């Protein structure tokens, strides 16, 4: 579940593999019905899984159950609801009957050898259902990246520790790791103190072991923000540093060619880190695995006018809901800035408000990045 399929899956048999009866009743010849036959002698009973029982005469039939294979001698099924059985004769009440009624004909869904699941695609319950029915108990899937989450900061202690008055507990690495778990990635986590030598040493080790390094904190202008310098000294190519956005402006992104490692370094502020995860990392993951590089996110309509003056793209926290007219609506839930992660419990998406605009009217629609299921 949730992995990306890396091979096309073909049908090992026709789907359905035989003329499958879809109602419990009697199997007859439609031509007999057209000729006016309304009483059929029952020549046997066919249950699902049975070898079909044939009959010879036009006024004959077999009782047949849903899922059973239709005999060659029949082409249509009349439901039990439309017959009355007495002394081995099925009398048909006044009905209209089409040729082929209540029969799901062999090969009408897919032909043997046809591709039934195309790669790449995300494996969901419908994919599992199809794979099972064509006899595939194991599937080739795309490899997931090996990911390490590194939190930085001298002020941080672990969950089970009691912080001093001036310390806080780590939360970013747990947030990232929980989100990655939903995508099947079991990331490792480690913490490094604000120390340039340790920062270099730990990142060097990680570059050997992982495909992706995700960092939180230590990338801003602070005196103890050692990450960008360490990455530079280690030969990680900076692809960009800083994005004209709020939150998450200090986001640093690069790659280390020698070890083939990607580095996503997110700001430490929990909301900034969270936004960068949903807006950059997860779309990157999806694009890398499925080849879908243009995630078409939904739009929602603002239910209140908003003003945002700075010339930055504003990822505003919103609560999405389905409006009375079934339109996707967004209620602004701005909270107290990028340190206020309690607000992430109330909101369910970020709304992408363009940098070129500073007033956003009620009813105007903008792209949204949900981080919870909307319905
Ligand atoms: P920094 O980006 O390192 O300057 O950190 C910015 C803010 O985010 C500071 O208030 C940090 O204490 C906080 N912070 C950094 N890392 C984490 C983390 N892993 N969990 C929670 N808060 C963090
Ligand atoms: Mg820090």
Q: Which of 179, 189, 269 to mutate to test the pocket of ligand 1 (most atoms within 8 A of CB)?
A: 269
CA pair distance 235, 358, nearest whole angstrom: 39
The dihedrals phi and psi of 343, each to the nearest 5 degrees, come to: -70, -20
Nearest to 3 by CA among 189, 181, 141, 157: 141
Ligand 2: distance of its center to the CA of 198 in Å?
14
Report CA Rg, the chain: 31
∠ CA 262-349-317, nearest 5°, is 100
Q: Provide the pLDDT for residue 375.
A: 74
pLDDT by residue, tens only, the chain of 375 residues: 999 999 999 999 999 999 999 999 999 999 999 999 999 999 999 999 999 999 999 999 999 999 999 999 999 999 999 999 999 999 999 999 999 999 999 999 999 999 999 999 999 999 999 999 999 999 999 999 999 999 999 999 999 999 999 999 999 999 999 999 999 999 999 999 999 999 999 999 999 999 999 999 999 999 999 999 999 999 999 999 999 999 999 999 999 999 999 999 999 999 999 999 999 999 999 999 999 888 789 999 999 999 999 999 999 999 999 999 999 999 999 999 999 999 999 999 999 999 999 999 999 999 999 999 987
Q: What is the 3-state secondary structure (H, E, C) of the chain?
A: CCCEECCCEECCCCECCCCEECCCEEEECHHHHHCCCCEEEEEEEECCCCCCCCCCCCCEEEEECCCCECCCCCCEEEEHHHEEEECCEEEECCCCCCCCCCEECCCCCECCCCEEECCCCECCHHHHHHHHHCCCCCCCECCCCCEEEEEECCCEECCCCCCCCCCEECCHHHHHHHHHHCCCCCCEEEEECCCHHHHHHHHHHHHHHCCEEEEECCCCCCCCCCHHHHHHHCCCEEEEECCCEECCCCCEEEEECCCCEEEEEECCCHHHHHHHHHHHHHHHHHHHHHCCCCCCCCEEEECCCEECCCCCEEEEEEEEEECCCCCEEEEECCCCCCCCHHHHHCCCEEEEECCCCCEECCCCEEEEEECCCCC
pTM attached to this predicted model: 0.92
Q: Which residues pair with 212 in a beta bridge?
A: 147, 262
Q: Would the CB of 254 count as within 6 Å of ligand 1? A: no
pLDDT at 355: 98
Calculate how far, in angstroms, residue 278's C-alpha sits from the geometric centre of ligand 2. Answer: 21
Ligand 1 geometric centre to CA of 154 (Å): 10
Which ligand 1 atom sits nearest the alpha carbon of residue 151? Answer: 19
Report how far residue 315's alpha carbon sits from residue 324's, in angstroms, rounded to the nearest whole number: 25
What pLDDT, on the 0 to 100 scale, is given for residue 9? 98
Pocket lining: 170 vs ligand 1, CB cutoff 6 Å:
yes
State if residue 16 touches ligand 1 by the CB under 6 angstroms criterion: no
């Amino acid at each position: 579940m949730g992995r990306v399929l890396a091979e096309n899956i073909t049908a090992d048999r026709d789907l359905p593999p035989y003329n499958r009866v879809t109602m419990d009743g009697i199997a007859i010849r439609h031509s007999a019905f057209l000729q006016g036959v309304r009483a059929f002698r029952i020549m046997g009973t066919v249950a699902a899984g049975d070898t079909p029982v044939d009959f010879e005469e036009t006024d004959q039939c077999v009782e047949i159950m849903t899922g059973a294979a239709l005999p060659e001698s029949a082409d249509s099924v009349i439901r039990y609801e439309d017959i009355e059985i007495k002394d081995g004769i099925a009398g048909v009440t006044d009905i209209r009957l089409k040729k082929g009624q209540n029969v799901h004909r062999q090969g009408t869904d897919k032909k043997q050898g046809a591709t039934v699941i195309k790669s790449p695609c995300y494996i969901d319950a419908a994919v599992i259902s199809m794979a099972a029915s064509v006899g595939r108990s194991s599937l080739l899937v795309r490899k997931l990246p090996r990911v390490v989450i590194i939190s930085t900061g001298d002020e941080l202690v672990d969950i089970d520790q009691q912080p001093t008055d001036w310390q806080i507990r780590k939360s970013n690495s747990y947030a990232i790791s929980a989100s990655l778990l939903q995508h099947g990635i079991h990331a490792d986590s480690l913490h490094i103190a604000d120390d340039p030598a340790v920062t270099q040493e730990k990142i060097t080790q990680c570059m050997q072991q992982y495909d992706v390094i995700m960092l939180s904190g230590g990338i801003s202008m602070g005196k103890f923000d050692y990450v960008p310098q360490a990455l530079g000294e280690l030969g990680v190519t900076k692809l960009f540093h800083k994005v004209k956005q709020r939150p998450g402006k200090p986001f640093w992104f690069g790659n280390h060619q020698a070890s083939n490692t990607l580095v996503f370094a997110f700001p430490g502020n929990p909301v900034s880190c969270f936004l960068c995860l949903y807006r950059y990392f997860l779309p990157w993951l999806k694009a890398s695995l499925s080849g879908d590089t243009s995630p078409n996110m939904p739009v929602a309509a603002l239910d209140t006018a908003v003003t945002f003056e700075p010339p930055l793209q504003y990822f505003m926290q919103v609560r999405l809901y389905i409006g009375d007219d079934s339109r996707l609506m967004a209620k602004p839930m701005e909270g107290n800035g990028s340190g206020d992660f309690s607000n992430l419990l109330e909101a369910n998406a970020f709304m992408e408000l363009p940098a070129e605009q500073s007033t956003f009217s009620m009813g105007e629609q903008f792209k949204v990045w949900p981080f919870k299921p909307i319905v």
